[in-house]
Structure 1
């Protein structure tokens, strides 16, 4: 059984630098899913669908499917039939195990399901530190607006690390060209379009009932400066003995360092994201004037901020040369 333990904290990232650069953070999902797939087990995680611009949980059984599941997704994912599919797969493969990776609410829901079905000892449950989930309808309309103007979206990333982990680039590919989606990202982070339940999230804490919590190790350059890597740093919060066993199995693929809940502090490990004072205005504008209007009004970066960000990137380039 997955017995709860006092939370153990690690900072970590992939030793494989090529794989690290292809990840959003420190490559933890790659390390975890590699371990399961290489041993003939399965992974359940969210995959983006370019045909209808939705994100839905799917069973992952090979490297090609794993590639589609990589990367941060700034929209709510649908569970679909994943509970039924994982249960049936485990019944058909009695010697195998399964890794489930989702947001706090999704992963805790799967934990409860696995306990009811008597499969908890065969599943490893990982949840991701979450800022909140916007309505999937907003992203879908945003993506369709791009396609009406420019053409079919063939690639999406919210955290390309060409400028380093701390300065991610968000864009889509259309017809072989990049189109920035920073307006959508800005609206995501200004807290206007999150679902109402996210402002009251009970999972915004370091104490959880999943096996492991993962996420970006923000402020590591301040709290563990000698371990900081500009190309990505991940956080592990280990909550169960089963989570500890899993971490030990992937540890050789990582550069890692013991830490604590003080060093890894970040807002969504202490409290839910606060509701924006502009939220009601945002939704009224959206209902009346549509997605393009709200993206322009709430997603435009001011000239002052653009200059500040440019200077920060220049300063970072000087420091790392």
Structure 2
């Protein structure tokens, strides 16, 4: 079991610009997962399934499959039976290791499972700075609503297309070869009303964690480390354990990186969970009354909730 260390902070981005462009921030996930895949080890991460609209954790052993897990997904991911699948994979591959990448609650659940099963020494656990997870049902109904509206199946989905830069990402889907913006769904997400109840009490919204390493966007880097700012995005690395130190040392040659500190990297969800909006109960009453159509119309397009989205983003990046 790895020992904890005083949290170490780095800003970094993968050296290949094309990977940065298709990543949510600076390509941290790709840099870390490449190290495991190239060694014949396995990666566990959430992959979006277009046929059933679900975000499910999978065991990944190729870069092509790993690429399906790149990018932020504004929906709840499903753990399913992945903890047990990881355990049996390690039993069958006695000389191999596993990298787990997920949200704080899921990553810590995996940590506890590994300690109970006495396999902690064979896993590296990375969690992601999280704003909160919205209802999976809400996303499914929204995706079906978009498909019905545009008469086709979603073939591609991104919540952070960076053609206009990392600070101004576009959320879009592709249906029948046509790009369709889904800013209305993003506005619903950032209103905070659609998050799971436990997200408002999340104990993982903190700098100090029991995972090996935390990754996310390095917000406000243009102010705190302006000489390292790049408009395409930069990742935050928080290192918590000896395993995290070892892992970062293995991948740092793949990165442009710079040592930082807790003050420079501060963001809202590293100190406290997303605040429960006063409008949440009304939001779900509206949903029960009018379904996804009413939610999109009232909370996705309404100027008041667009302002809420802007305010939350502004606070989280200060």
User: Hey, what's the Cα distance between the residues in 1 that align with 2:238 and 2:37?
Assistant: 22
Q: How far did 1:251 drift?
A: 0.1
The 5-angstrom pairing of residues 131-280 of structure 1 reads 131-150=131-150, 151-280=152-281
Determine helix, strand or coil for the equivalent of 1:33. helix
1:160-207: CA deviations, max 9, x gaps? 000000000000000000111101101111111101100000000000
The 5-angstrom pairing of residues 4-19 of structure 1 reads 4-19=4-19
Q: TM-score, normalised by structure 1?
A: 0.94
- Structure 1 residue ranges without an equivalent (≥5): 310-321
User: Hey, what's the Cα distance between the residues in 1 that align with 2:156 and 2:146?
Assistant: 13
- Tell me which residue corresponds to 1:75: 75
The 10-residue stretch of structure 1 (293-302 or 232-241) with the greater mean CA deviation from structure 2: 293-302
Q: How far did 1:63 drift?
A: 1.4
The 5-angstrom pairing of residues 300-319 of structure 1 reads 300=301, 302=303
- Tell me which residue corresponds to 2:315: none
User: Hey, what's the Cα distance between the residues in 2 that align with 1:288 and 1:179?
Assistant: 27
- Tell me which residue corresponds to 1:113: 113
- Structure 2 residue ranges without an equivalent (≥5): 311-318
User: Hey, what's the Cα distance between the residues in 2 that align with 1:131 and 1:180?
Assistant: 21
- Tell me which residue corresponds to 1:21: 21
Q: How far did 1:19 drift?
A: 1.0
Q: How far did 1:301 drift?
A: 5.6
Segments ≥4 residues shifted beyond 3 Å: none
**How many aligned positions are there?**
307
- Tell me which residue corresponds to 2:103: 103
Q: TM-score, normalised by structure 2?
A: 0.94
User: Hey, what's the Cα distance between the residues in 2 that align with 1:178 and 1:301?
Assistant: 22
User: Hey, what's the Cα distance between the residues in 2 that align with 1:289 and 1:60?
Assistant: 39
